[in-house]
Amino acid sequence: MAIVFHCEYCNKKIEAPDTAGGKWGKCPSCHNKLYVPNLTASADDELKIAPINDSDEAKERKLMAETYQLTQKILEEKETPQGRQTQAAKPAESAPALSDKQLTKEIISCLRLMADGQLDRVDIALDAVANQIEQAGKILDNIALSQIPEPQLDDIPPQVLAGLIRTMRAKMS
C-alpha cells in the first residue's frame, strides 16, 4: 500500500512506497526536500513529525544573523528624516530664533544649494531653520506663490523650484 500525502510547498498529491515512510525525499513536482510521513504506526502510537534538519537550521540561523548585521549597517549609514529632525532640533533649540528676513535668506540659500546639487551642504543649511518649521513653511509658501521669483532663484525653472520647495518641506518635517 502506498503512502499518499501532499507536498507542503506546492500542495501536489504524492504517492510514495511504504518503504519511504519516515525518510526524506524530493517532491517530483517542485523538487523541494520533504519528509515522507510514516503511516505504519498504529492509532495508539504517538504521531511522529518531521525531524529537524540540523543543516537547514544552521543555514537559517546564519542567514538571519547576516540579515540582522546588514540591517544594522544600513540603519547606521542611512539617516532618516526623523533622525535628522531629532538631531537638528537639539542644537537648534538653544540657537536664537531668526528674524523673518534672516530665515528667508537661509531658506533661499538652502534652495540655491539644492538647485546647484550641493546636497551635503543642504543638511547644514536646514539645521539653521529646523527650530522654526512653521515660520519656514509660511516663507516657502510665499516663495512658491510669488509671481516674481527671488533674484537668487530666478534662473531656476518654476517647475524645478516647486519640486525643490516640496523636497525642502519633506526634509523639514
| Residue 42, phi then psi, degrees to nearest 5 | -80, 170
87 and 29 in a common domain: no
For residue range 67-91, what is the model confidence (pLDDT) as tens digits? Answer: 888 888 887 776 555 544 444 444 4
126 and 66 in a common domain: no
Residue ranges making up the domain that contains 67: 3-42+50-76
64 and 32 in a common domain: yes
88 and 65 in a common domain: no
| Contact assessment for residue 92 and residue 131, using Cβ atoms and an 8 Å cutoff | yes
Give the 3-state secondary structure of residue 141.
helix
Please give the residue that has the higher pLDDT: either 44 or 123: 123
Angle ∠(66,80,166) on CA atoms, nearest 5: 140
Domain count, the chain: 2
31 and 97 in a common domain: no
Q: What is the mean pLDDT of the chain?
A: 79
pLDDT exceeds 50 at position 4: yes
133 and 116 in a common domain: yes
What angle, 0 to 180 degrees and rounded to 10, lies between the N-to-C axes of helices 158-172 and 133-145?
A: 170
For residue range 137-152, what is the model confidence (pLDDT) as tens digits? Answer: 888 888 888 877 788 8
pLDDT of residue 27: 92
162 and 103 in a common domain: yes
pLDDT exceeds 50 at position 165: yes
Total number of residues shown for the chain: 173
